[in-house]
């Protein structure tokens, strides 16, 4: 598996790669993960090759991997892969294509991300760049032997964009421990949240593409009208200051609780502390945090968007808000808030039932079933499709200035001046 984001980075792709790898290994398979170096050292990694990377690329919390490595070929010779699974069409995604091409292996590609929603991290962001990014991802998918789409919404978008490679819906499942009960009372006591407060919550990477300004404003609107409410914001990222400023300006700083990134049992404690989970992102391909919240029996209020509409059933396990305006979102929160105790219990029960449909056991079984037929075929890559993809990639390189930065960083990493 080759991925441009991996642990300890907090994000959906990193967590998906780690979750599938753990489940495959538990079933006796070997998984070699190729991922960027990260500013934080990770101890005791199993079968992970780290590639030189630019840290905190363009002010983000991403590491950008340089797509070459002197020792990767030796590790691959030792590992003898049967399948190459790429999780991005850029950078290490290029390496994935070269590995599959040189070794005659099937290439599986998970289209995790609507990449055009992330071009603000790149110099020279423009509408032309967004179009190029869409086209590059589409053509990359057509280089693959099989494409995994995290939701049916994304599968439909890929077909509309011209992906002809077979596409299978493949969400990231929840691991068994995610269903273990958390200690919400302990989390509330730790953060100074009253036991009887109505607690809204959100968990994830705090970044602009997550539509967090909308979320914070809608939540603040609701909380101004309901003084017994608090907001638990779990995560870290460049948008944290903006959110805190919104609550400071409303005089509600004491009702906003930001414990940073939480993992494992502490993350489950955070979910268990919540009464309603709020989610306004429109850039998702799968709402992983929605199913995680539902595994803690927490109903969800979300905007009707890719990734959310496959999980949230309106007035069954939460509210799906069709109009992207703050009043409607705030009203949906209020709808759950006003439910009777019995009605809330029905929402909690339905949320947990939904989460059980997304178990990692089910998802990994299906993924392995889809891998197996690929092993029986010969996978010579179509040179014409590969050449088209390379030409488009080079066109994008001319559109933005990233290659100069990558070349300079590569030269510094290997003690050589940048090539011109």
Q: State mean pLDDT over 21-50.
A: 89
CB contact set of 194 (below 8 Å; sequence gap of 6+):
188, 230
Give me the pLDDT at residue 414, please. 36
Q: What percent of the chain is predicted at pLDDT more than 90?
A: 64
DSSP single-letter state for residue 158: H
DSSP for 358-376? TBHHHHHHHHHHHHGGGGG
Give me the pLDDT at residue 30, please. 97
Give me the pLDDT at residue 419, please. 40
CB contact set of 18 (below 8 Å; sequence gap of 6+):
6, 7
12-173+362-413 and 177-358 have identical folds: yes
Q: Where in the chain are the domains?
A: 12-173+362-413, 177-358
Give me the pLDDT at residue 51, please. 86
Q: How confident is the model at residue 284 (pLDDT cuts 50, 70, 90)?
A: confident
Question: Cβ distance 112 to 157 under 8 Å?
Answer: no
* Distance separating alpha carbons of residues 325 and 303, to the nearest angstrom: 9
* Distance separating alpha carbons of residues 271 and 184, to the nearest angstrom: 7
* Distance separating alpha carbons of residues 64 and 53, to the nearest angstrom: 5
Q: How confident is the model at residue 7 (pLDDT cuts 50, 70, 90)?
A: confident
Alpha-helical runs (H) found in 80-119: 92-103
Does pLDDT of 2 surpass 90? yes
Report which of residues 378 and 122 the model is more confident about.
378
Does pLDDT of 413 surpass 50? no
Q: How confident is the model at residue 94 (pLDDT cuts 50, 70, 90)?
A: confident
Least confident of 55-64, 82-91, 246-255: 55-64
What is the helix, strand, coil percentage profile of the chain, to 5? Answer: 50, 15, 35
Does pLDDT of 130 surpass 80? no
Q: What percent of the chain is predicted at pLDDT more than 70?
A: 82
Give me the pLDDT at residue 134, please. 87
Q: How confident is the model at residue 370 (pLDDT cuts 50, 70, 90)?
A: very high
Q: Which CATH architecture has domain 177-358?
A: 3-Layer(aba) Sandwich (3.40)
pTM of the model: 0.76
Q: How confident is the model at residue 61 (pLDDT cuts 50, 70, 90)?
A: very low
Q: How confident is the model at residue 286 (pLDDT cuts 50, 70, 90)?
A: confident
Does pLDDT of 60 surpass 90? no
Does pLDDT of 171 surpass 50? yes
Give me the pLDDT at residue 285, please. 78
Strand partners of residue 260: 234
Q: How confident is the model at residue 107 (pLDDT cuts 50, 70, 90)?
A: very high
Write out the two tokens for 42. 């990770």
Write out the two tokens for 153. 């919404």
Does pLDDT of 262 surpass 50? yes
Question: Cβ distance 109 to 141 under 8 Å?
Answer: yes
Q: Which CATH architecture has domain 12-173+362-413?
A: 3-Layer(aba) Sandwich (3.40)
Question: Cβ distance 3 to 13 under 8 Å?
Answer: yes
CB contact set of 286 (below 8 Å; sequence gap of 6+):
12, 112, 150, 151, 154, 171, 172, 307, 310
Give me the pLDDT at residue 56, please. 47
As a dihedral over the C-alpha atoms of residue 89, residue 91, residue 96, residue 97, rounded to 10 degrees, the angle is: 70
Question: Cβ distance 299 to 276 under 8 Å?
Answer: yes
| DSSP three-state, residue 175 | coil
Q: State mean pLDDT over 186-215.
A: 96
The string of pLDDT tens digits covering residues 296-337 is 999 999 999 988 999 999 999 999 999 999 999 999 999 999
Q: State mean pLDDT over 171-180.
A: 92
Report which of residues 41 and 146 the model is more confident about.
146
Q: State mean pLDDT over 167-189.
A: 95
Give me the pLDDT at residue 58, please. 45
Report which of residues 388 and 374 the model is more confident about.
374
Does pLDDT of 400 surpass 70? no
CB contact set of 89 (below 8 Å; sequence gap of 6+):
109, 115, 136, 137, 140, 141
Report which of residues 409 and 102 the model is more confident about.
102
Q: State mean pLDDT over 91-120.
A: 84
Give me the pLDDT at residue 114, please. 78
Does pLDDT of 172 surpass 80? yes
Does pLDDT of 369 surpass 90? yes
Q: How confident is the model at residue 116 (pLDDT cuts 50, 70, 90)?
A: low
């Amino acid at each position: 598996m080759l991925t441009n984001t991996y642990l300890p980075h907090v994000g959906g792709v990193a967590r998906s790669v780690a979750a599938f790898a753990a489940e495959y290994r538990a079933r006796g398979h070997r998984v070699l993960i190729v991922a960027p170096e990260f500013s934080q050292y990770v101890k005791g990694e199993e079968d992970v090759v780290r590639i030189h990377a630019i840290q905190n690329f363009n002010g983000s919390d991403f590491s950008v991997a340089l797509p070459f490595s002197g020792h990767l070929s030796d590790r691959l010779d030792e590992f003898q892969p049967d399948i190459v699974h790429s999780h991005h069409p850029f950078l290490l995604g290029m390496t994935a294509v070269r590995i599959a091409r040189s070794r005659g292996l099937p290439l599986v590609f998970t289209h995790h991300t609507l990449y055009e929603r992330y071009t603000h991290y790149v110099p020279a962001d423009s509408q032309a760049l967004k179009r190029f990014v869409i086209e590059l991802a589409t053509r990359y998918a057509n280089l693959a032997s099989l494409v995994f789409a995290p939701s049916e919404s994304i599968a439909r978008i890929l077909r509309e964009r011209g992906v002809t490679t077979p596409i299978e819906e493949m969400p990231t499942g929840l691991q068994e421990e995610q269903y273990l009960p958390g200690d919400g009372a302990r989390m509330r006591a730790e953060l100074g949240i009253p036991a009887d407060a109505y607690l809204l919550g959100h968990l994830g990477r705090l970044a602009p593409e997550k539509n967090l300004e909308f979320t914070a404003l809608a939540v603040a609107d609701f909380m101004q009208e309901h003084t017994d409410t608090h907001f638990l914001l779990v995560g870290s990222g460049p948008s944290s200051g903006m959110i805190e400023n919104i609550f400071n300006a409303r005089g509600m700083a004491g009702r906003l609780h930001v414990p940073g990134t939480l993992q494992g049992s502490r993350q489950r404690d955070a979910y268990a502390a919540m009464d309603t989970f709020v989610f306004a992102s429109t850039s998702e391909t799968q709402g992983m945090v929605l199913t995680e919240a539902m595994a803690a029996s927490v109903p969800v209020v979300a905007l009707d968007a890719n990734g959310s509409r496959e999980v949230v059933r309106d007035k069954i396990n939460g509210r799906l808000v069709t109009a992207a305006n703050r009043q409607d979102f705030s009203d949906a929160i209020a709808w759950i808030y006003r439910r009777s105790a019995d009605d809330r219990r029905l929402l909690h029960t339905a949320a947990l039932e939904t989460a059980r449909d997304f178990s990692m056991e089910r998802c990994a079984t299906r993924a392995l079933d889809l891998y197996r037929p690929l092993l029986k075929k010969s996978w010579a890559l179509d040179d014409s499709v590969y050449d088209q993809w390379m030409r488009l990639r080079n066109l994008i390189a001319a559109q933005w200035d990233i290659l100069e930065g990558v070349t300079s960083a590569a030269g510094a990493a290997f003690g050589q001046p940048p090539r011109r």
